[in-house]
Structure 1
């Protein structure tokens, strides 16, 4: 299974979600079964590390995202990944608009996919303060916990 988390610039929400997903999947013994990556719809932060506040917030929860680097969503991603998990409705519309006709990936909201309610979004913390990053962490970590539980149930026989 291959998951790609998508936000606007790939320096706040999507790298935090990538880190949380990897962490929770590894804890559940699923790190070798589920691959996780992240990307942005924009190209402003290609090859840059995540925002320092995102790095610090993830680190405060025992997750190191400092080695991640921003990248832009690429047409190949629609074939390489099973799920493109979008941070908000704006990203969802943008990703769906870019999807080629033969796209293999399902394109959905991350939190909705994780079972956190229809239309559940992750607000962009970039222009906010630490409390905004804390809120995003709580949201992506909850989604990661739900995803790990979901994949764990699928792994069990019967």
Structure 2
């Protein structure tokens, strides 16, 4: 999950998807992380407002710390999900050519909402953080449904 500073949208998306992965019993098969395209907040926890709104919906973001996206992330992760066009451009500028297909917008997976971006709530009011959670929950549910790792494992053959 990638946004600009890794203190609002991407840690929210990380927390939501981690909770969904755990709820589905897939924590051993799916790894979730987040990063920012800029290093403004490296080492800091998510924005207090993002944490508060997420906690009201049962997501704990308190242990997360901001980090900056690196070229190695495109090799480590099958998908690099960005929040908006600016994040997409910055990620693609850093991405090795062979991994460009791994960069997608999180909103590409929305099931109920029609959105091309998860808007940045940083300079807005509380409603912006709620909107982020609505979009992220919807997109993460769609993402989890689309992932091959989320498919039931085939029955094991016995000798």
TM-score, normalized by length of structure 2?
0.88
CA distance in 2, matches of 1:90, 1:116: 24
Return the offset for 1:103: 3.0
Q: Secondary structure at the match of 1:35?
A: coil
CA distance in 1, matches of 2:113, 2:138: 12
8 Å CA contact 1:20–1:144 kept in 2: the answer is yes
Q: What is aligned with 1:107?
A: 103
Alpha-carbon RMSD:
2.1
Larger Rg: 2
Distance of aligned partners of 1:28 and 1:88 in 2 relative to their CA distance in 1, 3 Å threshold: same
State how many pairs are aligned: 154
- Gaps in structure 2 of 5+ consecutive residues: none
Measured against aligned partners, the alpha-carbon deviations of 1:83-129 in whole angstroms (never above 9, x if no partner) come to: 00000011111111111234376101011045567862100000001
Higher relative contact order (CA 8 A, sep 6+): 1
CA distance in 2, matches of 1:85, 1:132: 20
More strand by share: 1
8 Å CA contact 1:47–1:70 kept in 2: the answer is yes
Q: What is aligned with 1:136?
A: 132
TM-score, normalized by length of structure 1?
0.88
| More divergent stretch after superposition (108-117 vs 93-102) | 108-117
8 Å CA contact 1:28–1:148 kept in 2: the answer is no
The question of 1:29 aligning with 2:22 is answered no
